[in-house]
Amino acid sequence: MFNSLMLEIAITRSQISKRDLAKKLGISEQGLYNKLNGISEFKASEIRALSDELSLSSQEREEIFFAKG
């Protein structure tokens, strides 16, 4: 389970629109919303791309995508 709130904050902080973010990930805007809402999961390549696009630190990436609980 990923931390959707932390990811939403990181997206807002980056000032990249979700439409542009979806394009950079190579997925549809609906696909991004599905992932953000937990309907589908992020692939490892998408996590890497998100980390780069949102300038996430290693700690932030771990807390968002890999934290237990």
At residue 32, the 3 state secondary structure works out as helix
Work out the number of other CB atoms within 10 angstroms of the CB of residue 19. Answer: 11
Q: What is the pTM of this model?
A: 0.89
Q: Which two tokens stand for residue 35?
A: 């992932």
pLDDT in tens, the chain (69 residues): 789 999 999 999 999 999 999 999 999 999 999 999 999 999 999 999 999 999 999 999 999 999 876
